[in-house]
């Protein structure tokens, strides 16, 4: 009887464990074919002539085949709004800082010099870690892990584009989503290192904490790519390459147009991104410093961080309208979806159509609001292009091409006249 | 000497469900690639250590018959304080940890005062205290984050103390403290009094136990453990932010889940720090089984619901037997192996 109970218990344990293991594996998006390809890839690549580098039908090596795949993907893969997904990145020379980080920190918030180390990835290259050398054996068959920041419509679009771009260049990928939680992202970084992929990409939840994360990846001998969100200068010592939007530049460009529309007069209030992340600084202090320098008569009325819920944003804007009255001439938003919806609702409720609203874009809601005239302007930041540039840089690294340590996606200012060129929206 | 017979039945499984849970999770790990590597074991147990501290605090208070909803916030504030004092004031790590732990003692004393002297229900008192702590955190760290730039301390806590043993120093400290608290709860008068106060306040009073004092000790022990764990976690991860755990799976919820899985009675008086610890180790490995956060949340929630359902049904059956014929209860206890 006792033996029977024990046998039943052990069987039950095995069944439940099997179910758990099955559920756990379901997170692995690799198809059996991809898994097989992965296993082949893990064979010593440099030796050549083994099955992993089996010659392509045309007779080329894995590298030749990868280069052909890459060229084809660059030429054919398009974003949903009709722009090349794997377009090359934009680079530029970083201007010299006007002091040390400590000296600049003491400057006024409206002085653009203060934000030098936030705006530019200006790090001491002599402190760079030893990065793993490119295998230069082709991107085809490589497996990468992308750790995003959290659940959002933008992230879904990014993840899908990343998978699409990886597939186009012959790579496989897993995407981990820590749901905006710092400690969960730390856990995922450990998990990713444990999986021993060919590269790890991270969109850091926190710019400040990124140094620890990238150090861990680089110390494990895995190339680390920072995507979308810029990090502190000391983190760049452990980052193989950064790719993403130039948030500061696009928000400054937006601020230029806004200042002109305001005739250089009036008050501006700001709704920020999540506090601590790089978009928080870029989308608030980028336009703020630009307006302060070029339009000294434009005043900053307030800066608030109510998050991304339309109702919370609506309340903040309604309070501003009550408090500042006619002084409030414009609102700068870090997000063109829920933040824009809340803002527009508050403005309509107060019947203050004279308030100009600009935002960082571009989402479906944002494009609709620009078309309807509720949103005066927004910046163009291609989500799929962002994913594409990350994949392009990783593929170039595997292909043995010299990659730039920092490269940005292109940008534009969207208004009612040209919004059709950027639709249908990516997310 | 008569050997104690082990009968494998529903009661046995229920009493040892934490161990069974761990066994299932570890068994499932066999089917996953790279699950039992030294790196994975080190990182899973290290990353899961914070909730072990929270579970420890929560269990102590629950045994005493109270809820301590401040555990997560005490640990976050302690982490912010510890990193902040080190990076802003340049204090040595040990002093920072000590100050953070003292903060925990203070919070425990306040919680104890609110519950024992002002007679506020612990749920309400600690819920209110949560907001106070959040306010303090925002005042202390307006940018929501404190960073520890000292990689030496960070690497020391991440590193293995004993070569070849795949556990970080942080996890070993956590385990050591849990063992000490377990011994305290089982083998000291104050520890046993915590069980008595939680089980039946009237009996405790009749037995001459100073229930207010014991309750305060439980809160102080809970908060100080959480503060110590939070401070160490800040150094271990190199960062602390106010919203820690709020957008993923809240550490407080994991601690609560593990406490219940570990068999601690929600009504108080019964429970084990060790069982909570085992449950939390199992939860840490369970999370590593899944790559997707939503799956982690779902599975943990299902296990919690299953445990609560079992507890409720068992309670109902017990009440039914007791209400009909009290003498039958003794028979019932014998039948389930508790007689």
Interface contacts A/B by beta carbons within 8 Å: 136
On chain B, the residues whose CB falls within 8 A of the CB of A105 are none
Q: Write out pLDDT tens, residues B295-327.
A: 888 888 888 888 888 878 877 777 776 666 666
Stronger pLDDT, A251 or B7, i.e. the higher one? A251
Query: Could you say which residues from 114 to 143 on chain B have a Cβ atom under 8 Å away from some Cβ of chain A?
Result: 143
Q: What is the CATH number of domain A64-90+122-239+384-411?
A: 3.40.50.2300
Confirm or reject contact between A184 and chain B (CB < 8 A).
yes
Q: Do A17 and B47 touch (CB under 8 A)?
A: no
Predicted confidence (pLDDT) at residue B199 exceeds the cutoff of 80: yes
Phi, psi (degrees; rounded to nearest 5) at A200: -125, 130
**3-state SS assignment for residue A383:** helix
Distance (Å, whole) CA B98 – CA B106: 12
Report the topology of domain A248-381.
Rossmann fold (3.40.50)
Confirm or reject contact between B39 and chain A (CB < 8 A).
yes
Q: Do B291 and A180 touch (CB under 8 A)?
A: no
Q: Name which of B90, B79, B232 is nearest B141 in CA terms.
A: B79
Angle subtended at Cα B166 by Cα B160 and Cα B167, rounded to the nearest 5 degrees: 60
CA dihedral A260, A264, A269, A275 (to 10 degrees): 70
Find the CATH number of the domain harbouring B249: 1.10.3470
Q: Do B40 and A14 touch (CB under 8 A)?
A: no
Query: Would you give the distance in Å from CA B1 to the centre of its chain?
Result: 37
The answer to whether position B107 is within a domain reads yes
Q: Write out pLDDT tens, residues B230-257.
A: 999 999 888 787 776 666 677 888 888 8
Confirm or reject contact between B17 and chain A (CB < 8 A).
no
pLDDT of residue B312: 80
Distance (Å, whole) CA A136 – CA B123: 60
Confirm or reject contact between B185 and chain A (CB < 8 A).
no
The answer to whether position B209 is within a domain reads yes
pLDDT of residue B66: 94
CB distance A226 to A235 below 8 Å: yes
Q: Write out pLDDT tens, residues B267-302.
A: 888 899 999 999 999 999 988 888 777 788 888 888
CB distance B176 to B56 below 8 Å: no
Confirm or reject contact between B108 and chain A (CB < 8 A).
no
The H or E element containing residue A413 is strand A411-414
Residue B103, min C-alpha distance to chain A (Å): 23
Predicted confidence (pLDDT) at residue A23 exceeds the cutoff of 80: no
The answer to whether position B57 is within a domain reads yes
pLDDT of residue B223: 97
Residues forming a β-bridge with A270: A303, A332
Confirm or reject contact between B144 and chain A (CB < 8 A).
yes
On chain A, the residues whose CB falls within 8 A of the CB of B255 are none
In this prediction, residue A24 has a pLDDT band, given cuts at 50, 70 and 90, of low
Residue whose structure tokens are 């940890």: B97
Q: Do B299 and A9 touch (CB under 8 A)?
A: no
Sequence ranges of chain A with CATH classification 3.40.50.2300: 64-90+122-239+384-411, 248-381
Confirm or reject contact between A13 and chain B (CB < 8 A).
yes
In this prediction, residue A254 has a pLDDT band, given cuts at 50, 70 and 90, of very high
What residue in A sits closest to B298 (Cα-Cα)?
Answer: A23
Q: Do A208 and B147 touch (CB under 8 A)?
A: yes
In this prediction, residue A287 has a pLDDT band, given cuts at 50, 70 and 90, of very high
ipTM over 0.85: no
Query: Could you say which residues from 213 to 242 on chain B have a Cβ atom under 8 Å away from some Cβ of chain A?
Result: 237-239, 241
Q: What DSSP string runs through A98-130?
A: SS-HHHHHTS-TT-GGGGHHHHS----GGG---
Distance (Å, whole) CA A213 – CA B210: 49
Neighbours of B89 (CB within 10 A): 10
Q: Write out pLDDT tens, residues A94-132.
A: 888 888 888 998 999 999 999 998 888 888 889 999 999
User: Which residues are within 8 A (CB) of A26 and not within 5 positions of it... i.e. 6 or more apart?
Assistant: B295
pLDDT of residue A38: 42
pLDDT of residue A134: 93
pLDDT of residue A93: 84
Ramachandran area for residue B238 (φ above 0: left; ψ -120 to 50: alpha; else beta): left
Q: What angle do helix axes A153-168 and A62-76 make, rounded to 10 degrees?
A: 130
Q: Do B33 and A190 touch (CB under 8 A)?
A: no
Q: What DSSP string runs through A245-265?
A: E-HHHHHHHHHHHHHHHTTT-
Q: Identify which of A34-48, B70-84, B246-260 has the greatest average pLDDT.
A: B70-84
Residue B260, min C-alpha distance to chain A (Å): 20
CB distance A42 to B33 below 8 Å: no
Find the mean pLDDT for residues B193-216.
91
On chain B, the residues whose CB falls within 8 A of the CB of A187 are 43-44, 47, 287-288
Confirm or reject contact between B145 and chain A (CB < 8 A).
yes
Range of the domain at B142: 10-289
Stronger pLDDT, A33 or A247, i.e. the higher one? A247
Query: Would you give the distance in Å from CA A306 to the centre of its chain?
Result: 21
Predicted confidence (pLDDT) at residue B1 exceeds the cutoff of 90: no
Q: Write out pLDDT tens, residues A351-407.
A: 999 999 999 978 888 999 999 999 999 999 899 999 999 999 999 999 999 999 999
Predicted confidence (pLDDT) at residue A7 exceeds the cutoff of 80: no
Q: Do A275 and B28 touch (CB under 8 A)?
A: no
DSSP helix, strand, coil percent of chain A (3-state; round to 5): 50, 15, 35
What residue in B sits closest to A146 (Cα-Cα)?
Answer: B291
Domain count, chain B: 1
Find the mean pLDDT for residues B204-224.
93
Confirm or reject contact between A111 and chain B (CB < 8 A).
no
The answer to whether position B312 is within a domain reads no
Predicted confidence (pLDDT) at residue A40 exceeds the cutoff of 80: no
Compute the mean pLDDT over every residue in chain A, rounded to the nearest whole number: 86
Stronger pLDDT, A243 or A53, i.e. the higher one? A243
In this prediction, residue A181 has a pLDDT band, given cuts at 50, 70 and 90, of confident
On chain B, the residues whose CB falls within 8 A of the CB of A200 are none
The answer to whether position B3 is within a domain reads no
Distance (Å, whole) CA B112 – CA B117: 8
What residue in B sits closest to A209 (Cα-Cα)?
Answer: B239
Distance (Å, whole) CA B261 – CA B276: 7
Confirm or reject contact between B51 and chain A (CB < 8 A).
no
pLDDT of residue B337: 60
Closest partner CB to B34 (pick from A26, A179, A195): A195
Compute the mean pLDDT over every residue in chain B, rounded to the nearest whole number: 86
Predicted confidence (pLDDT) at residue A34 exceeds the cutoff of 50: no
Q: Do A2 and B8 touch (CB under 8 A)?
A: yes
Q: Do B248 and A180 touch (CB under 8 A)?
A: yes
The H or E element containing residue B240 is strand B239-241
Find the mean pLDDT for residues A189-218.
91
pLDDT of residue B315: 75
Predicted confidence (pLDDT) at residue A27 exceeds the cutoff of 70: no
Distance (Å, whole) CA A217 – CA A197: 11
Confirm or reject contact between B15 and chain A (CB < 8 A).
no
Predicted confidence (pLDDT) at residue B176 exceeds the cutoff of 90: yes
Q: Write out pLDDT tens, residues B10-59.
A: 677 777 888 988 998 898 888 888 888 888 899 899 989 999 999 999 99
Confirm or reject contact between A160 and chain B (CB < 8 A).
no
pLDDT of residue B142: 66
Residue A182, min C-alpha distance to chain B (Å): 7
pLDDT of residue A275: 78
Confirm or reject contact between A181 and chain B (CB < 8 A).
yes
């Amino acid at each position: 009887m006792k033996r029977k109970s024990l046998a039943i218990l052990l069987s039950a344990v095995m069944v439940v464990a099997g179910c758990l293991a099955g559920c756990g594996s379901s997170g692995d998006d690799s198809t059996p074919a991809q898994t097989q390809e992965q296993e082949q890839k893990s064979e010593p690549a440099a030796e050549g002539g083994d099955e992993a580098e089996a010659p392509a039908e045309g007779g080329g090596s894995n590298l030749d085949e990868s280069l052909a795949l890459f060229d084809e993907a660059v030429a054919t893969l398009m974003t949903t709004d009709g722009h090349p997904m794997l377009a090359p990145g934009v680079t530029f020379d970083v201007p010299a800082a006007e002091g040390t980080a400590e000296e600049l920190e003491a400057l006024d918030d409206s002085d653009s010099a203060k934000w030098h180390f936030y705006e530019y990835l200006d790090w001491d290259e002599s402190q760079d870690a030893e990065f793993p050398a490119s295998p230069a054996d082709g991107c085809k068959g490589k497996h990468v892990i992308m750790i995003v920041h959290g659940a959002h419509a933008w992230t879904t679009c990014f993840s899908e584009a990343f998978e699409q771009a990886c597939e186009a260049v012959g790579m496989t990928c897993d995407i981990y989503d820590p749901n905006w939680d710092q400690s969960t992202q730390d856990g995922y970084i450990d998990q990713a290192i444990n999986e021993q992929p060919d590269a790890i990409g991270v969109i850091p939840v926190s710019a400040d904490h990124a140094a620890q994360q990238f150090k861990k990846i680089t110390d494990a001998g895995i190339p680390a790519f920072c995507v979308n969100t810029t990090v502190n200068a000391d983190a760049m010592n452990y980052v193989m390459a950064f790719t993403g939007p130039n948030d500061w530049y696009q928000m400054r460009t937006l601020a230029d147009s806004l200042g002109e529309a305001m005739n250089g007069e009036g008050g501006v209030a700001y709704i920020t991104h999540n506090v601590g992340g790089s978009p928080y600084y870029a989308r608030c202090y980028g336009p703020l410093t630009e307006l302060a320098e070029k339009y000294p008569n434009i005043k900053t009325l307030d800066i608030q961080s109510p998050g991304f819920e339309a109702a919370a944003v609506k309340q903040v804007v309604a309070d501003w309208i009550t408090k500042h009255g006619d002084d409030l001439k414009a609102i700068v938003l870090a997000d063109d979806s829920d933040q824009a919806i809340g803002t527009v609702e508050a403005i309509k409720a107060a019947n203050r159509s004279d308030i100009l609203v600009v935002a960082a874009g571009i989402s479906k809601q944002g494009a609709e609001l620009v078309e309807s005239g509720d949103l005066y302007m927004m910046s163009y930041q291609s989500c799929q292009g962002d994913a594409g540039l990350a994949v392009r840089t990783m593929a170039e690294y595997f292909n043995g091409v010299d990659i730039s340590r920092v490269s940005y996606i292109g940008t534009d200012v969207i208004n009612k006249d040209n919004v059709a060129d950027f639709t249908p929206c990516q997310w | 000497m008569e050997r104690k017979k082990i009968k494998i039945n529903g009661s046995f499984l229920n009493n040892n469900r934490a161990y069974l849970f761990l066994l299932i999770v570890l068994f499932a790990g066999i089917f996953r690639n790279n699950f039992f590597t030294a790196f994975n074991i080190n990182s899973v147990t290290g990353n899961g250590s914070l909730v072990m501290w929270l579970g420890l605090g929560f269990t102590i208070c629950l045994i005493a018959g109270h809820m301590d909803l401040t555990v997560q916030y005490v640990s976050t504030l302690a982490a912010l304080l510890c990193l902040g004092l080190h990076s802003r004031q340049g204090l040595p790590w040990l002093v920072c940890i000590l100050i953070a732990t003292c903060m925990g003692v203070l919070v425990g004393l306040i919680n104890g005062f609110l519950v024992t002297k002002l007679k506020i229900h612990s749920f309400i008192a600690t819920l209110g205290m949560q907001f106070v702590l959040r306010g303090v955190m925002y005042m202390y760290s307006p940018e929501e984050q404190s960073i520890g730039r000292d990689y030496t301390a960070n690497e020391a806590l991440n590193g293995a103390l004993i070569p070849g043993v795949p556990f970080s120093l942080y996890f070993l400290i956590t385990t050591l403290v849990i063992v000490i608290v377990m011994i305290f709860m089982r083998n000291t008068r104050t520890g046993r009094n915590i069980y008595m106060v939680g089980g039946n306040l009237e009996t405790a009073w009749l037995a001459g136990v100073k229930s207010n004092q014991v309750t305060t000790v439980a809160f102080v022990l809970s908060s100080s453990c959480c503060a110590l764990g939070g401070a160490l976690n800040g150094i271990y991860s190199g960062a602390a932010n106010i919203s820690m755990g709020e957008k993923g799976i809240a550490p407080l919820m994991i601690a609560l889940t593990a406490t219940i899985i570990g068999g601690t009675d929600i009504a108080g008086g019964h429970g084990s720090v060790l069982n909570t610890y085992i449950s939390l180790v199992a939860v840490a490995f369970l999370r590593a089984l899944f790559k997707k956060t939503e799956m982690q949340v779902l599975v943990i929630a299902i296990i919690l619901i299953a445990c609560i359902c079992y507890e409720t049904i068992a309670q109902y059956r017990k009440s039914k037997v007791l209400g009909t014929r009290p003498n039958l209860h003794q028979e019932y206890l014998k039948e389930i192996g508790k007689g």
